[in-house]
Every structure is written in structure tokens, then in C-alpha cells.
Amino acid sequence: MTTPTAAAPPSLSADALCFTLNGELERPQSWAPTTTLLSYLRATGRTGSKEGCAEGDCGACAVAIADNSAEGPIFRATNSCILLLGSLHGRAVLTVEGLTQAGEAAHPAQAAMVAALGSQCGYCTPGFVMSLVEATYRPTLAAPGWRREDQLAGNLCRCTGYRPIREALDAVAGSRPADRFAAALCSPAPAAALHVVRDGERFDQPATLDEALALRAADPAARVVAGATDLGLEVTLKGRRWPALLSLEAIAALRGAWVEGQTLVVGATTRLADLEDATEHSIPALHRMLRYFGARAIKSRGTIGGNLCTASPIGDLAPVMLALGAELVAARVSGTRSIPADDFWTGYRSTALTPDELLTHIRVPLPGPRAHQAAFKLSRRRELDISTVAAAFHLELDASGRVERARLAYGGMGPRPLRARGAEDALVGATFDESSVRAAAAALEAELRPLSDHRGSASYRMRVAKNLLLGFLLERQKDGLRAGAAALDLRHTGTLALDAAPGARP
């Protein structure tokens, strides 16, 4: 019996791709920098992982990667369809085929799915099983709660209606059996340095920031990639290839979040799932946005820097950074500089970074005693969707309840994430109440010009942008919500948790 050891392969060199697949060393011979794990698996006969969409939106291709996290070592369920093979160098991957060896009983996650009738057509099932495997070994899932609810958000099933799959989840979540998988989890191997040229295409995955900056300076045209949750779609949907890719996967120094004084410092390649954990109590508004940012499988790969640097007009974290007054730290060989969030997004999908710079850290001020913050994401579907409107608000009130300072930021309301300065002006100096919200809403109408598209009409976006300001006021009036997202009902109605009960504190 082989064990899916999570430790680094013994003979790891930086010039030949090598990773552990279901406990065996895998040394791919035929691959390109844009080859995805899913296409590699299926081309080599591991057809248990399925392609349902090739854009990270259905989870049928999910595999598990042993990794460290804020809650300890875990298997991260990950969409293999948009995972670059090269980024796995040195790591340990588990696919559905690796869960049961000949003569072995089914893994508890598999057995639970069978018992609950969690599979009908079976095509999405291997992906669900891998999400359930992650759940099985996550210590924080032992009790019901939002983390358990979030576990399945990245897997689509068209047959069952999910009830039986949730039952299977409840049966295994946080159970952490002392089996060979748990044993293999003790010290997950990180990604390792890899520098290769394949058919004229270069793939550089340095292990230090200095190396990365040198590579950036040497070839500013190289495409930078972190979690590949955005770049992966360019590969699978548009067939894009690049002469050179610069992967930040193996730079440990860019990962992690810590508090310095009154600031949370976040490494640029910190995974969104880890940031979600790190901000639950320190910056509830940021945490709340991350809860609804996307599916866990995406949050387990996607990075804060990636989200900010793609400079999407919606990019859910950008409005939060604007409202919270974050600073973005960029580095180049010759030094570093700090860019206020207000100056970072310069237009449609463009940023203030120069071609030889890398975003290294984000500095987010912790909310002060007079700060009132909220962040909202409105999308067609609550889970696993792109925003129609994203909004983040920061107010500082004086003792009498008057607004001293206001930062209101929106995504989806223009060509880039932006501040609503007219609405801010309408609030500053006024008491934060329905009358000042009305004035601010009128200012929004004058200053924002949202587009109509398949996610929503301009009229809908504008009404929602205004109503969210009112929702911010109403939430503030409702006791219990000031503690932030953790205090939300598990399944509150959509974006807002509303209604000031009669007689509630004004």
C-alpha cells in the first residue's frame, strides 16, 4: 500500500517538473506551461476528474492539494481545470482515483455519498467527493456553521437538488479519521522553484522575491501568475499561450497576514480563503466580502494580489480597499513604493504598476473605534457568482453621530472600481440618517454611470447602489450586526441583513 505522502519528493530539481500524485512520484514528460492539471490527468488516463466547464465554475474537476492553512494542514479542494501543472512542482495532489486502493473499503466521503444517494448521473460526483474529502479533514467543520455551508458552494449538481449531498457532508465534516490521509497531512510540501523552457515557452517559478523581481526586470513582458483563477480561463476558453510565465506560487514570503500596529499587512499571494479567516474578527467588512466573493475552491487558489491586479471593473476586493483606505506596496529591483488604493486603478483593467514592478503587500488599516464599515456583494446568485454591484462603505462618526469622514466605493458601477465622492460629500457633516442617505443617493445618481449587461440593467444597478446605502444605515440600526459577518444568520436574505425591528436603537 502506498501512502499519499505530503512531503516533498526526494529528488526535487528546479529544471524538471515533479510532484506527488496519489502517493506516487509523477514526472510529466509532455506538458507546456499552459497545460492544466485536468488536461494532464485525462490525457494520462486518470479520467475520474471530469471537465464540466473548464472555467472553475462547476467543480466536477476538483482534486485535493495538501496545504497549510490558518486552521492547520488541510486538503484544499481545487479546480484542476484551471490549475497550471507547473505550479504543482514539489506538491502532493490527491485525485478521486487515489481515495481507494484495491481491496480497501471506500473512503468515508465516498461511503457517505453512496449512502445518502448523493449521486444520480455521477458526473459531478468525483468533484463533490473531493470537496467532502477536504471537509473530512478540516478541523473547523466539526460543528455546523457558515464554514460548513461554504464547503459545497463550488460544486454544481444538476440532478439531486443537493439535499443528499449536504447529508453526506454532515456525516463526514470535521470527522478527521486517523487514516493514511490524515497521516499524510502532517507537513504539506510547499511549491518549489522551477525554471524550464518547453517548446520555446518559458515557465519561471522562483522561490524568492528577489529572484522574481530580477526576472520581472529582465522580461517585463512575462505574464505574472499567482493562483491562475483568472489566467486559467484565458487558457481554457481562449486558448491563450504566453512566451513567458512568471509564477509567484513558490514565494513563501509573499504569503500570510499579520498585524503591525493599527494595520493588517497582507502578502500579495495570500489565498483568499486564508484572508477570510484572518479578517473574521479584525476587519469584519473585508471578511464579509470574502464570504461571498466566490466558491471556496476558488478562494483556496485565488490570491488578494491577483484579484487587485486583474483590475476588473467589479473585482470585489477593490471597492473594499478603496473604502478602507488601503495602501498597496509595490516592489522592483531598485526598491519599493506605497500606492494609495485611490491611485491604484487607473482605468479599465489597468493599474499604476509599472512593467517591472510586482505587488508585494497590501496594508489595510484596522477599523478605529469611530469607524463604521460594511461591504456588500450583490450577484444573480448568492454563491459562486460575479458581482452585479459590489459596494464598500467606511464612515467615521463623531460623538453626536455626525459624519466626520466618509469613503464610499463601488464596483460594477463604472469602467473601474471607484469612489463616490459626491455621495461622500453629501454625508460629511450630516447626521447619518435616512435624510442624509437620501441626499447621498441623489448624488450617486449624478456621479455614477453604470452599464447595462447580462448581469443587470443600469437602472437596477443604480437603484441597488442607492438602496445599499440605506441598507448600511438599517443594518447599523439593528443590534447585533456591528460585530460583522459572523453575526449574520446562516442564510439571511441575500446581501443585506435587514429590518430594524420597531423601536430599535436609532
Site residues (CB under 8 A) for another protein, limited to 335-354: none
Name the minimum Å distance from CB 125 to another protein: 4
Interface with another protein (CB under 8 A), residue from 21, 82, 153, 390: 153
Q: Does 495 bind another protein (CB under 8 A)?
A: yes
Interface with another protein (CB under 8 A), residue from 28, 33, 86, 126: 126
Residues 270-329 contacting another protein, CB under 8 A: none
Contact 409/395 with Cβ under 8 angstroms? no
Q: Which stretch binds another protein (CB under 8 A): 19-27, 304-312, 313-321, 497-505?
A: 497-505
Q: Which stretch binds another protein (CB under 8 A): 249-257, 266-274, 282-290, 498-506?
A: 498-506
Q: Does 463 bind another protein (CB under 8 A)?
A: yes
Q: Which stretch binds another protein (CB under 8 A): 116-124, 192-200, 346-354, 355-363?
A: 116-124
Interface with another protein (CB under 8 A), residue from 29, 102, 454, 480: 454
Residues 162-191 contacting another protein, CB under 8 A: 162-166
Q: Which residues in 39-76 are b (16+ Cβ under 10 Å) and which e? A: bbbbeeebebbbbbbbebbbbbbbbbbbbbbbeebbbb
Interface with another protein (CB under 8 A), residue from 20, 80, 87, 95: 95
> Within a 13 Å sphere around the CA of 320, how many CA atoms are in the beta-carbon half?
26
Interface with another protein (CB under 8 A), residue from 82, 184, 215, 441: 441
Burial class (CB in 10 A: 0-12, 13-18, 19+), 170: middle
Interface with another protein (CB under 8 A), residue from 467, 476, 481, 488: 467
To the nearest 10 degrees (0 to 180), the angle between helices 163-172 and 125-137 is 30
Phi, psi of 63 (to 5 degrees): -125, 175
CA atoms of 33 and 195, how far apart (whole Å): 11
Contact 198/33 with Cβ under 8 angstroms? yes
Say how far residue 287 (Cα) sits from the centre of its chain.
11
Q: Does 114 bind another protein (CB under 8 A)?
A: yes
Of residues 285 and 330, the one with the C-beta less far from another protein: 285
Name the minimum Å distance from CB 158 to another protein: 5
Interface with another protein (CB under 8 A), residue from 392, 468, 481, 485: 468
Name the minimum Å distance from CB 240 to another protein: 11
Name the minimum Å distance from CB 6 to another protein: 21
Which are the contacts of 459, defined by CB distance < 8 A and separation ≥ 6? Answer: 452
Interface with another protein (CB under 8 A), residue from 88, 93, 94, 96: 96
Q: Does 408 bind another protein (CB under 8 A)?
A: no
Cβ neighbours around 455 below 10 Å, total: 18
Number of residues that bind another protein (CB under 8 A): 91
Of residues 404 and 499, the one with the C-beta less far from another protein: 499
Residue 311: closest CA among 352, 268, 358 = 352
Interface with another protein (CB under 8 A), residue from 68, 120, 310, 431: 120
Q: Does 200 bind another protein (CB under 8 A)?
A: no
Interface with another protein (CB under 8 A), residue from 79, 119, 300, 307: 119
Q: Does 64 bind another protein (CB under 8 A)?
A: no
Residue positions counted in the chain: 506
Q: What are the residues facing 338 on neighbouring strands? A: 329
Q: Cell digits for 449?
A: 454611470
258: enclosing H helix or E strand: strand 257-260
Say how far residue 197 (Cα) sits from the centre of its chain.
30
Q: Does 437 bind another protein (CB under 8 A)?
A: yes
Of residues 266 and 441, the one with the C-beta less far from another protein: 441
Phi, psi of 65 (to 5 degrees): -120, 125
Q: Does 501 bind another protein (CB under 8 A)?
A: yes
CA atoms of 245 and 174, how far apart (whole Å): 38
To the nearest 10 degrees (0 to 180), the angle between helices 434-447 and 458-477 is 160
Contact 241/63 with Cβ under 8 angstroms? no
Contact 423/440 with Cβ under 8 angstroms? yes
CA atoms of 248 and 227, how far apart (whole Å): 8
Interface with another protein (CB under 8 A), residue from 11, 15, 45, 480: 45
Burial class (CB in 10 A: 0-12, 13-18, 19+), 217: middle
Of residues 114 and 186, the one with the C-beta less far from another protein: 114
Q: Which stretch binds another protein (CB under 8 A): 42-50, 212-220, 276-284, 357-365?
A: 42-50
Q: Does 4 bind another protein (CB under 8 A)?
A: no
Interface with another protein (CB under 8 A), residue from 18, 37, 54, 66: 54
Interface with another protein (CB under 8 A), residue from 16, 121, 142, 333: 121
Q: Where are the beta strands (DSSP E) in 80-200?
A: 92-94, 194-198
Residues 365-394 contacting another protein, CB under 8 A: 378, 380-386, 388
CA atoms of 172 and 134, how far apart (whole Å): 10
Name the minimum Å distance from CB 484 to another protein: 19
Residues 474-493 contacting another protein, CB under 8 A: 474, 491-493
Q: Where are the beta strands (DSSP E) in 4-49?
A: 19-21, 24-26
Q: What are the residues facing 64 on neighbouring strands? A: 77, 94
